[in-house]
Amino acid sequence: MKHLLSAADLSRDDALQIMDTAAQMHDVQRREVKKLPVLRGRTVVNLFFEDSTRTRSSFEIAGKWLSADVINVSAKGSSVSKGESLRDTVMTVAAMGVDALVIRHHASGAPQQVTDWVDAIVVNAGDGTHEHPTQALLDAYTMQARLGDLAGKHVGIVGDLTHSRVVRSNLLLLRTLGAEVTLVAPPTLMPSGIADWSAVEGFSYSYDFDEVLPKLDAAMMLRVQKERMTGGFFPTPREYTVGYGLTRDRLRALPEHAVICHPGPMNRGLEITADAADEARSLVLDQVSAGVAVRMSVLYHLLGGEA
């Protein structure tokens, strides 16, 4: 594995190996001195053309804790804001002798395109509405830590599926790991061609959250991405919450062993209430913590270890 561009790049063994290594990296986070020398002398550039807090910070911490030299470049304040193209930007950065580019871009497929232009390792940190493979890895890692082997577990991914890059990566990886997946959304936020897609990939979908909820081992709530919406996808925020939010009443229908996930940032009171976000079964903060460990593992396997 030269790059990590899609969850489809990962076999079951690849994913389990990354998660096993992440468990070891997680132990580093609990040490007083959080440093490993494995990427000493390597240079990682985080190229973020969209705003990010969790992903960019966790990649930066991951690289530094592995002793790599980490440089952050954002579109604001770079030559991109002066009109420089993506190709010229990445080729300029790569010409400085960097070893890896971690890229977030608003255009789907941008990281894949970058691999044609540079020799550096490329990690997709989110491209448009396409994919976010390291998010899927940390979600699976977090759920596995609580639920055990995900084979046969039932995961519901609920919310704004049309505008989400998380849903595709999670769906691909969870199916690779043997989980049963059900996508849940109102008709206006369900991806087009869902029937054909579900038949090919082997997952189910539903417009009725209440019917699916009691059957789940994990409920993954997705953010309503208002910034990507140009029309009226639902009448009012309250009506969305009534139909598809994880509310106090729905918590009672969720099986006691089931866990709650959210890739963040959360719209509290819209797709998830405070009761659900702060519940004992909520893994939201566990996901944030796992993000550093998983991204340490990804960088290690691509740059320092055997992929």
Catalytic residues: 54-55, 82, 104, 132
- Do 106 and 74 form a contact (C-beta atoms < 8 A)? no
- Do 131 and 124 form a contact (C-beta atoms < 8 A)? yes
From CA 213, how far away is CA 156, in angstroms rounded?
A: 8
Query: What type of residue is 251?
Result: L
